[in-house]
Amino acid sequence: MRTQVAIIGAGPSGLLLGALLNQAGIDNIILERQSGDYVLGRIRAGVLEQVTVDLLDEVGVSQRLHKEGLVHGGIELLFAGKRHRIDMNSLTGGKNVVVYGQTEVTRDLMADRATKGLTTIYDAHDVQVHDFDSANPSVTYTTEGQAQTLQCDFIAGCDGFHGVCRASVPEGSITEYEKVYPFGWLGILADVPPVSHELIYANTDRGFALCSMRSATRSRYYVQVPLTDKVEDWSDERFWADLKNHLDPEAQANLVTGPSIEKSIAPLRSFVAEPMRFGRMFLAGDAAHIVPPTGAKGLNLAATDVKYLSHALTEYYAEKSNAGIDHYSQRCLRRIWRAERFSWWFTSLMHQFPDTAGFGQKVQEAELDYLVHSASASRSLAENYVGLPLNFGE
């Protein structure tokens, strides 16, 4: 079997890349080691920057997003017992974010790919990438007990942090930068109305909390917990009581509780792998970088990676030019490090760190006080939160 671009991973980045390439007339096949149902069962974030919404518009899969997505023009910062709204819309000249679950983005892209008859091979086991430093790369895998080989021109590694693509790069060819945070997020998903119509980011002496949502009837809440905590230690009742103690009186009064649909603890890390191109193999999304969920940059960074990659590959096939391919890694990394900086800063500002209690808490509250009362500081937060333009600084 042969294709022009072999895409490893059928998450939103791989599916979006496939849609962009198909629109440009570039043949592609997606290989995914899990089943389609498993992929759709993964619970992920859902705050989309305008750039990401524009990309979904571009490939024609945004109809449900525009019908069901919640447009947010601001966020609220809660500290010292009081909420302060950051009006992102007015501070950025009319830009917003859209709350629409990553699972739903994946579902829309999967449905579109199936409708167009494009090939996605699920349950592809033992995936291995070969000869990506040559003009004739290939991918081997096993499906239904049969060994298969996929010949291709290029390989796109959209297979996540633990995927095979980055792991296949020769030792010494890649530099990894990582920061592991000393806490995690305990998250709960429940079919209850949100406590507020916009996200609330809370900084308290009990630690961080986030009040988010997936729809007008489904909420997603988080509280900061030590890495030693286990999900089984947290009953629904304990979670709701702890969350309530993070909130201001108005939010406490508005909080509706109910049984959890999903509950999990996610560790926080910042991670970047450089470079993102190795011959004819490219890394994109979580395969190349991880950001803390504070600020909601993960999916949005993955979307811009594949936009740059699709443009580079389209330029290669249409114009016989290597320029986009040669600059792919550098272009992505410049944007990635900006998002890494913002996510690190926002995480450092909002969370309680074990070694900075007391004095550190007061310093955070002072910085937050400055942030909400300085137009330039508020604008910086707003610009980064809604997402910098694709060509920012170029």
Supply 77's token pair.
């910062």
In a domain, 238, yes or no: no
**Known catalytic residue at 95:** no
| pLDDT confidence tier of residue 394, bands split at 50, 70 and 90 | low
How many CA atoms does the CB half-sphere of 160 hold within 13 Å?
Answer: 13
pLDDT of residue 390 exceeding 90: no
In a domain, 145, yes or no: yes
Catalytic residue among 12, 72, 307, 351: 72
pLDDT of residue 42 exceeding 80: no
Q: What is the pLDDT of residue 366?
A: 95
146 - beta bridge partners? 143
Q: Work out the percent of the chain whose per-residue pLDDT is above 70.
A: 99
| pLDDT confidence tier of residue 355, bands split at 50, 70 and 90 | confident
| pLDDT confidence tier of residue 393, bands split at 50, 70 and 90 | low
**Known catalytic residue at 293:** yes
| pLDDT confidence tier of residue 251, bands split at 50, 70 and 90 | very high
Q: What is the pLDDT of residue 286?
A: 96
Average pLDDT over residues 326-341: 96
Which CATH number fits the domain that encloses residue 294?
A: 3.50.50.60
Count of structural domains, the chain: 1
Burial class of residue 249 in the structure, from the number of CB atoms within 10 Å of its CB (0-12 exposed, 13-18 middle, 19+ buried): exposed
In a domain, 217, yes or no: no
pLDDT of residue 375 exceeding 80: yes
Mean pLDDT, rounded, of the chain:
95
Catalytic residue among 293, 307, 328, 351: 293
Average pLDDT over residues 138-151: 96
In a domain, 330, yes or no: yes
Alpha helices by DSSP H, 79-222? 88-91, 102-115, 164-167
Q: What is the pLDDT of residue 358?
A: 83
The domain containing residue 124 runs over which residues? Answer: 5-70+101-177+268-351
Catalytic residue among 297, 316, 328, 351: 297
**Known catalytic residue at 317:** no
Q: What is the pLDDT of residue 80?
A: 92
What does residue 152 show for φ and ψ, rounded to 5 degrees? -155, 170
In a domain, 250, yes or no: no
**Known catalytic residue at 222:** no
Q: What is the pLDDT of residue 109?
A: 97
Q: What is the pLDDT of residue 32?
A: 97
Catalytic residue among 100, 141, 181, 201: 201
pLDDT of residue 11 exceeding 70: yes
In a domain, 56, yes or no: yes
In a domain, 251, yes or no: no
In a domain, 132, yes or no: yes
Burial class of residue 106 in the structure, from the number of CB atoms within 10 Å of its CB (0-12 exposed, 13-18 middle, 19+ buried): buried
